[in-house]
Structure 1
Amino acid sequence: MSGQNGGTMRENNSTFENRPVTMNEKNNLLEIEEHMYILDDVEKPNVFRNMFPYSEIPKIPFNDRIVPHNMPKEIWITDTTFRDGQQSRAPYTTEQIVTIYDYLHRLGGPNGLIRASEFFLYSKKDRDAVYKCMELGYQFPEVTSWIRASKEDFKLVKEIGMKETGILVSCSDYHIFLKLKMTRRQAMEHYLSVIRECLEEGISPRCHLEDITRADIYGFVVPFCVELMKLMEEYNIPIKIRACDTMGYGVNYAGAVIPRSVQGIIYAIHTHAGVPHALIEWHGHNDFYKAVANSTTAWLYGCAGINTSLFGIGERTGNTPLEAMVFEYAQLKGTLDGMDTTVITELADYFEKEIGYEIPPRTPFVGKNFNVTRAGIHADGLLKNEEIYNIFDTEKFLNRPVLCSVSDTSGLAGIAHWMNTYFKLHGDKQVDKNSMLVQEVKKWVDEEYAGGRITVLTDEELIEQINAACEKLNLTIG
């Protein structure tokens, strides 16, 4: 039997005609109980070579099977800055972790829309950071952990006082057969035994289904999730499912085939494995520039939590940027629900000035040039009305007033506008277009373009000339 969005459905021995017909209260239609899926314990790994021919570019096939939108009433963001975000850069100091965590609390607002943040526990530095973050007493982001699947680590989580921990449960045959050297049944039995040990300690496991976009969704992922839901019922402890697009292969195109279809994966986990919305989380990577689009798609089709990292910092091409999902949330819900987006700019400043991380200048929302207009004709429009070339009121939401670059068309007003916005001058500290400083800089600008220049002036060039003019005129700015 063909599965939703591709794959093969495996049923148990119960016959289709004996299944009850019930009323679906959501759509008021009669339906037959969903099929039951059992593990397909294949002898050889299914690496979907038709979709992932390693010597060619991966392929995106379609079967035009569509699943319905099913966005949960409540959606939220989770953070992996201190876990996946630390796997691609020098480790943060304990003090830096605590400071960033405090920023995340402020950004998430009173409704705790940044729901949780995960931490390593391997080193004393990591554990010290965990203790200090927990001492702050914040409900959100909840401090959670990422550990090895061992009894010793489970006990450590319990001793620290954490309620939840992440556990790696790789789900593609690439990992099961080629890395772990197991069969699917062996892997499932091993994972379930580890998760049971976690539950025995009274800890809520967060199961990281690594490499889900190359996994057999109905042959392994759904049967495994069904067993996890049985354990959840047995122990009465929540078990979260994190769908990890480890290699960034997920796509958000309607009718694409699983395991590449994000909506198909979320549909399968929720509808066929019976995992509640609130226990499904998406973790995306940006290898094919799709991290944000895929994450938003996961929300739209039934996933409550989106796992992110500040500025997308993470392994290889990085994770879904946290700041991007803040604005995706606002666009989907029509409100920020209390999130303080100005903290995003504070975080960007902290990373650059205190941590020494250089944010690419054209990075949306946080790069120094993200709302700078450079084209002369655009600058002219911007000076007349900033809504023409600014995405929203960036000064209100990010403390980042729109900036126009300086060129031969800017004039005295344009140069004055650049100075006031770049140096954040307000009130009587603002420079006027008729000031000696502005006129002195304008002379240099005119000379540049009279000499044949056609490109806009860079920030660095302008700062150099402004400093020189201030020294010549014995003036200070600001």
Structure 2
Amino acid sequence: MQKKWEKFQGTKFYRDYKTDYDNAPNYMKELFPFSEPPIIEFDGLIPPQHIPDEIWLTDTTFRDGQQARNPYTIKQVVDLFTLLHKLDNGSGIIKKTEFFLYTKKDREIVEKCQSLNFDYPIITGWVRAHHKDIELPIKMGIKETGILTSISDYHIYKKLGMTRKEAEDLYLDVVRRAVELGYEEIRCHLEDVTKSDIFGFVIPFIQKLMRIHEETGMRITIRLSDTLGYGVPFPTASVPRGIPKLVYYLRQEAGVPSEFLEMHMHNDFGVVIANSVAGWLYGASSVNAALLGTGERTGNAPLEQLIFWYIGIKGNYKNMNLSVITEIKEYYEKEIGDRIDPQKPFVGEYFNVTRAGIHADGLIKDPEIYNIFDTEKVLGRKSLVIITDKSGSAGVAYWINTFYNLPNDKHLSKNDERVKAIYDEILKMYENGKEGYVSNEEMREFIKKYIPELEAK
């Protein structure tokens, strides 16, 4: 279906879509054969880029983020919630977080977090599309909740055992019940949207939701849940997999304002960050993420990484305290006992560490050559080197200067005879069969031998 790329003008419906009840279920086997990897369809059309005036993050660390890991303790949730607040630092960039409310432990966690009276992140709920469930958050004083509104025919027919009409009626009834209960905002989580019938079911359903919003004033956010990570960030890719067009159509055809659109991406095909950022670039104000990218299977978008994409797009981070990202890393490692991928951006042990001698030589001359930004200033983490037989004397010199925090006028160069002697010892270790890298303890033994005054300090 060819579309006119008209400028979006608010919640105006350019055409009234009718739900296709007759040709369902539509499993789109031409794109999702299941016996083979899925197919991407390209139509050559490019939707206009539209970055909203205001963009932000929401958090799912305590909901989706812990569905594929050992559950957090009550103390761990409260501590992480406090760290999220400390990271946001009143900026409102990490605007909301969401919680389960079904068990006694769930509710105790929420009560403890509520007692802290933080401005951000705002506490919200998550419930299934059941009339009894929708009462849970409001009873706890929570004015916003997500509602699971599974949207693909795979979920409606195969999981729920319903027809499109039955699912649509249920979802709309629960949303109307939320209005009666006094919610200020609900989020409809369009589960599996990137495998759904966009024009035959998704857009007609969302148009009905937007009418409820206009009639009642209750804010209705549409969360685009890329449940199996099928989304792709390419503007010429067709729906349902093309994220830029999906966001465009929901703004243009379904009449959803940017501030009512939220991305929830998964990393099954390795493009969770690209898809999340594409949401921002093409008109969604909100991106949902989890600390360290935890979540089902390959995980959600890592919240700490998206902060740097936010900075890249907006050119500022208001008054966020980015050094707290390192505190969060250390909390996961020391208090929770998680092992973080050492090469994970911004939080991995080696994210700003080099092994190559030529890179170490560049760091000595000017850290801007081989460090992505001043990681010591921003994150409290110096750029480091790991010593191997490939490090060269430049790597040894850089390790000494940083490990012992030597002032600039005391820095050793790669041409220092003591540095060369240490590197010769390292080469002999590898000639004699050493594997792996040279540990800090091994390096300190060399320092004691060749530059003992450093150890004496």
TM-score (norm 1): 0.87
Matched residue count? 450
Q: How is 1:124-139 mapped onto 2 (pairs within 5 angstroms)? A: 124-139=104-119
Residue 81 and residue 437 in structure 1: after superposition, are their counterparts in 2 closer, same or farther (change >3 A)? Answer: farther
Residue 251 (structure 1) aligned to one of 211, 224, 232: 232
Residue 152 (structure 1) aligned to one of 113, 132, 148: 132
Q: CA deviation at 1:329?
A: 0.5
Q: CA deviation at 1:464?
A: 3.4
- Counterpart of 1:240 in structure 2 is 221
Q: Does 1:66 align with 2:46?
A: yes
Residue 166 (structure 2) aligned to one of 183, 186, 189: 186
CA distance in 1: counterparts of 2:330 and 2:406, whole angstroms: 20
Kept in 1, the 8 Å contact 2:397–2:419? The answer is yes
- Counterpart of 1:382 in structure 2 is 363
- Counterpart of 2:353 in structure 1 is 372
Q: CA offsets per residue over residues 199-245 of structure 1, 9 Å max, x none? A: 21112211000000011111111111111111112222111110000
Residue 379 and residue 268 in structure 1: after superposition, are their counterparts in 2 closer, same or farther (change >3 A)? Answer: same
- Counterpart of 2:86 in structure 1 is 106
Q: How is 1:370-449 mapped onto 2 (pairs within 5 angstroms)? A: 370-408=351-389, 414-415=395-396, 417-419=398-400, 421=402, 425=405, 444-449=425-430
Q: CA offsets per residue over residues 129-171 of structure 1, 9 Å max, x none? A: 2111111111110001112333433332112110101110011
Q: Does 1:226 align with 2:207?
A: yes
Q: CA deviation at 1:379?
A: 1.7
CA distance in 1: counterparts of 2:327 and 2:123, whole angstroms: 22
- Counterpart of 1:333 in structure 2 is 314
CA distance in 1: counterparts of 2:416 and 2:139, whole angstroms: 65
Residue 440 of structure 2 aligns with an amino acid whose one-letter code is I
Q: Does 1:463 align with 2:435?
A: no
Kept in 2, the 8 Å contact 1:121–1:145? The answer is yes
Q: Does 1:311 align with 2:292?
A: yes
Kept in 2, the 8 Å contact 1:80–1:307? The answer is yes
CA distance in 2: counterparts of 1:74 and 1:100, whole angstroms: 26
Kept in 2, the 8 Å contact 1:82–1:119? The answer is yes
Kept in 2, the 8 Å contact 1:147–1:153? The answer is yes
Give secondary structure in 2 for the equivalent of 1:388. Answer: coil
Give secondary structure in 1 for the equivalent of 2:188. Answer: strand
Q: Does 1:36 align with 2:16?
A: yes
Kept in 2, the 8 Å contact 1:246–1:285? The answer is yes
Q: Does 1:47 align with 2:27?
A: yes
Residue 60 and residue 191 in structure 1: after superposition, are their counterparts in 2 closer, same or farther (change >3 A)? Answer: same
Larger displacement relative to structure 2 (410-419 or 234-243): 410-419
Residue 108 and residue 238 in structure 1: after superposition, are their counterparts in 2 closer, same or farther (change >3 A)? Answer: same
CA distance in 1: counterparts of 2:281 and 2:358, whole angstroms: 38
Residue 266 and residue 449 in structure 1: after superposition, are their counterparts in 2 closer, same or farther (change >3 A)? Answer: same
Residue 359 and residue 420 in structure 1: after superposition, are their counterparts in 2 closer, same or farther (change >3 A)? Answer: farther
CA distance in 1: counterparts of 2:3 and 2:182, whole angstroms: 35
- Counterpart of 1:80 in structure 2 is 60
Kept in 1, the 8 Å contact 2:41–2:237? The answer is yes
Residue 189 and residue 25 in structure 1: after superposition, are their counterparts in 2 closer, same or farther (change >3 A)? Answer: closer
Where in structure 2 are there 5+ consecutive unaligned residues?
Answer: none
Kept in 1, the 8 Å contact 2:357–2:392? The answer is no
Residue 33 of structure 2 aligns with an amino acid whose one-letter code is P
Q: CA offsets per residue over residues 89-148 of structure 1, 9 Å max, x none? A: 011011111111111112123221000000111222221121111111111100011123
Larger displacement relative to structure 2 (404-413 or 392-401): 404-413
Q: CA deviation at 1:432?
A: 6.6
CA distance in 2: counterparts of 1:145 and 1:206, whole angstroms: 10
Q: Does 1:172 align with 2:149?
A: no
Q: CA deviation at 1:276?
A: 1.3
Kept in 2, the 8 Å contact 1:168–1:210? The answer is yes
CA distance in 2: counterparts of 1:355 and 1:426, whole angstroms: 34
Residue 163 of structure 2 aligns with an amino acid whose one-letter code is T
CA RMSD of aligned residues (A): 2.9
Q: Once the two structures are aligned, what percentage of the paired residues are identical?
A: 46
CA distance in 1: counterparts of 2:236 and 2:42, whole angstroms: 6
Give secondary structure in 2 for the equivalent of 1:273. Answer: coil
Q: CA offsets per residue over residues 427-468 of structure 1, 9 Å max, x none? A: 69x997899998996564242255477x8x62xx32231465
CA distance in 2: counterparts of 1:95 and 1:440, whole angstroms: 51
CA distance in 2: counterparts of 1:167 and 1:195, whole angstroms: 8
